[in-house]
Amino acid sequence: MTNSSNKNDSWGTRTIWGGEEEYFFQGATQVPIVHSVSFGYEDIDSWHDVALGKQKGHIYGRNSNPTVEVFEEKVRNLEGAEAATSFSTGMAAISNTLFSLLSPGDRVVSVKDTYGGTNKIFLEFLPRFQVDVTLCDTTDHEELEKEIARGCNVVYLETPTNPTLKVLDLKRLIDAAHDAGAIVIVDNTFATPINQTPLTLGADLVLHSATKYLGGHADALGGIICGTAKLINIIDHFREINGSTLHPMAAYMLLRGMKTLYLRIKQQNESAMKIARFLESHPLVEAVYYPGLESNEGHDIARKQMRGFGGILSFSLKGGMDAVRMFLPRLKYAHLAANLGAVETVAAPPRTSSHVECSEEERAAMGIPEGLVRYSVGIEDTDDLIQDLEGALVDLNIKTDHASDSV
């Protein structure tokens, strides 16, 4: 976790050179994948100094690794943080962070629309350790401010949210949290540092499921958290002991994916905007959820705090789940799967992916229509994607007419 910063460079340059300014082992221009579990020392005194953190180096692979360290450095650079530490998955980043910072009697304030796994930690696990969790209506900023002001230790935010792309006003909630003396954690997975940097708005910690956009190729799991050295040291220490270490092979694949992060996000932002406008004007589409649309409730806040609106949108079809069941398999250019943020377009109904564990009533209470489709735009040609959607909707039109005729 060196501190060489080229913060003034532009995003495309930082995604390439961040953490990789110098040649590696024997002049290798590309990061070596160091699979060694341990690191040997002829000199017992330097071994001791490394162990005490007085000298740079590695001792044991659960604690640190040269390949993993380069990945941490690249994301640290992009988020503009003092320090970063990585994990085997995004959920490991989230759970290790919460369990290392919270103690019995503490209180967390968050929103109802966090990622499904995070929601499970809040409702199933933290209460067992006497941590009180209050989940507010996601866009009710007044309720959030009121609950934060009642006193809390951690304010946990995620924006835009999954799957309806709600937007939280980060600056406003961070200020409220700091007035109450709370630490603010932001899940920045959907936005990526290219579109949004919560630390520059005052957040204490920013985390990612690197499995999604950072890696970008849906072939490696990983997680990372960035923030002040003081907080990262606490979390890193817990992670070392808990053992949810990022594998060096995964770190390499994530790093390789990150070299195109800026190009991918630029393309995905543009495509998602065009696709959102296309869908908004389609007669069989009931509603489109995308913060880039002027009609979207979160548009003004998104414009204030994001440099781009992201590559994920969702939309509901007239005809509900029956229509979705016919529509999705007709898409030629989309994996029907649970991941997102990949180079390929991925489409999924929340009721079989992110919110499979909720009942229909719970989904309705969260404002998730049964006929919703989450669409993670890949880097395919935008016109091909629009044609693909258009074609699938034309077929759907015939089918729905048939279905209603026969009733």
Residues at the contact surface with ligand PLP, assessed by CB under 6 A: 89-91, 115, 117, 158, 162, 187, 189-190, 209, 211-212, 221, 223
H/E element, 108: strand 107-111
187 is catalytic: yes
Q: What are phi and psi of 401, to 5 degrees?
A: -60, -45
- Is residue 151 left, alpha or beta, with left meaning phi > 0 and alpha meaning psi from -120 to 50? left
The least CB distance from residue 149 to ligand PLP, in Å, is 27
| Nearer to ligand PLP (CB atom), residue 190 or residue 315 | 190
Q: Catalytic: which of 9, 49, 60, 62?
A: 62
Looking at the DSSP bridge assignments, the partners of residue 227 are: 83, 205
| Nearer to ligand PLP (CB atom), residue 72 or residue 158 | 158
The least CB distance from residue 158 to ligand PLP, in Å, is 6
Closest to 214 measured CA to CA, from 262, 158, 161: 262
| Nearer to ligand PLP (CB atom), residue 223 or residue 319 | 223
**Measured distance CA(221)–CA(191) in Å, rounded:** 18
Tokens coding 297 = 């409730």
Q: Which residue type is seen at 175?
A: D
Tokens coding 340 = 């997102």
The least CB distance from residue 91 to ligand PLP, in Å, is 4
Tokens coding 16 = 């390439």
- Is residue 56 left, alpha or beta, with left meaning phi > 0 and alpha meaning psi from -120 to 50? beta
212 is catalytic: yes
| Alpha-carbon torsion, ordered 201, 224, 123, 129, to 10 deg | -100
Closest to 315 measured CA to CA, from 352, 286, 291: 286
Number of Cβ atoms within 10 Å of the Cβ of 401: 10
CB-based burial label for 183 (10 Å; 0-12, 13-18, 19+): buried
CA 137 centroid distance within chain: 20
| Nearer to ligand PLP (CB atom), residue 206 or residue 396 | 206
Q: Which residue is nearest to ligand PLP (CB)?
A: 90
H/E element, 100: helix 90-101
H/E element, 223: strand 223-227
| Nearer to ligand PLP (CB atom), residue 91 or residue 368 | 91
Q: Catalytic: which of 76, 112, 115, 290?
A: 115
The least CB distance from residue 364 to ligand PLP, in Å, is 22
**Measured distance CA(44)–CA(358) in Å, rounded:** 56
| Nearer to ligand PLP (CB atom), residue 213 or residue 327 | 213
Q: Catalytic: which of 113, 169, 187, 236?
A: 187
| Nearer to ligand PLP (CB atom), residue 188 or residue 382 | 188
The least CB distance from residue 37 to ligand PLP, in Å, is 23
* Residues with catalytic function: 62, 115, 187, 212
